[in-house]
Structure formats: structure tokens, C-alpha cells
Amino acid sequence: GAVVSQHPSWVICKSGTSVKIECRSLDFQATTMFWYRQFPKQSLMLMATSNEGSKATYEQGVEKDKFLINHASLTLSTLTVTSAHPEDSSFYICSARGQKAEQFFGPGTRLTVL
Amino acid sequence: DQQVKQNSPSLSVQEGRISILNCDYTNSMFDYFLWYKKYPAEGPTFLISISSIKDKNEDGRFTVFLNKSAKHLSLHIVPSQPGDSAVYFCAASFRGKLIFGQGTELSVKP
């Protein structure tokens, strides 16, 4: 159990375009999902907390207008990187929280902005 | 300010021996600690967790020890297997959020 999927697994886009990444909890309902970003050889950095039916809570330094998060159902959260630039290139990972403190992670999405 | 630290970026262990991965933290308000295993270009995989009210949790080959007075936790893997080779992250939970350490790359040699 506790399977989380992400789509797409990788995406290449031109600078200035927007990219949407989907995160789904496949076998459980997740009232809370999280979005992380990881740079090479670095730790996972929490970007925002996504609660079903309400606005996301962003960490300090994360632009909410640039990284739009929608959590419309108990099994789906989306992250849209708007007007992407090369510095937004990164590995984006979502997670869904289980009954305790455990978070179960998706496989990640590699974004490359040309 | 790094609240969760893994001071060893890498660790090499012989197959069959014990692997000990260490993690230190600064915030005494953390209520849960977790260990994740990660391969490149993949999401982390949950391994084991421990509540802040306990000092030990065991699951198969994996045991996590928590020393609250020292603000230190460790993950023991015994016996180590080549398939255990990966990056291991410790994470601490506070108000539902996870704060990750920098990771330790474990290499288990046959």
C-alpha cells in the first residue's frame, strides 16, 4: 500500500512556458500532500504543503504565484510551474501523508527548462 | 540553519557487516523521526520511523535508535547487503512537516 504516482516523470520545455505536474495517491486518501524540490547532491527542500480543498501553505522564499498548487481531491494534487526559466530546472517530488507522520513519496519529476 | 544534520556524506561497509548511519538534530520539539532510502532520479522510499517518546524501533534488518538527551538518532542495518547501497536520508517531523538531513551515501561492497 501507500503508493504515490507522479506524472510526467520528466519534461523538457522552453523558457516562458508553464508546466503542470500531477501527484496522485493511488491506494489511500491523502488530506495533506507536500511538494519538494531537490537539487543535485542536496537534500529535499519543502516548497509547500497542500491541503485538500484549501489554499496551499508555502515555505519562506517560495513564490506562490510562480508555483501554483491545487489539491482538488483527496487523491490528486497538482503543481504548475508558471513562466518557467532555466533556474527552475530541478527534480520535483511530491509526497502524501499517511496516518502517522510517515510521508510516502512519488517517483519525482525531472524538469529541464531550455 | 540546518536543523537536521547528517555529518557523514558517505559510508562504505563490507557485505554482511553492520552499517550505522547517524543523524543529529537541534529542535527538541520534533515529535517523530524517519529514515528514507533514495536512488538517483527516484523518490525516497520510507524505511522506518520512531516516535520521540521511544528510544528504539526494530523492523527486520533495520533498527533505529533515538537518544533524546544527545539529540541524536542512528539507523543500524544488519547484515548489510549490496542492495542496500543508496543514499539514506533522516528526517524529523514538526507540525506535520518533514525536515531532511543532507543524506549519507551508503556503499555495501560484496
At residue A101, the pLDDT reads 73
Evaluate if residue A1 carries a pLDDT over 70.
Answer: no
At residue A27, the pLDDT reads 85
- Give tens-digit pLDDT for B47-93: 999 999 999 999 999 999 999 999 999 999 999 999 999 999 999 99
- Residue B86 CA to residue B13 CA, distance in Å, equals 12
Cβ of A102 and B49 within 8 Å?
A: yes
- Residue B10 CA to residue B103 CA, distance in Å, equals 8
User: Which chain B residue has its CA at the smallest distance from A1's CA?
Assistant: B46
Query: From residue A28, how far is each of A58, B46, B72 by CA, in Å?
Result: 24, 16, 32
- Give tens-digit pLDDT for A53-80: 888 999 999 999 999 999 888 889 999 9
- Residue B73 CA to residue A112 CA, distance in Å, equals 36
Cβ of B36 and A105 within 8 Å?
A: yes
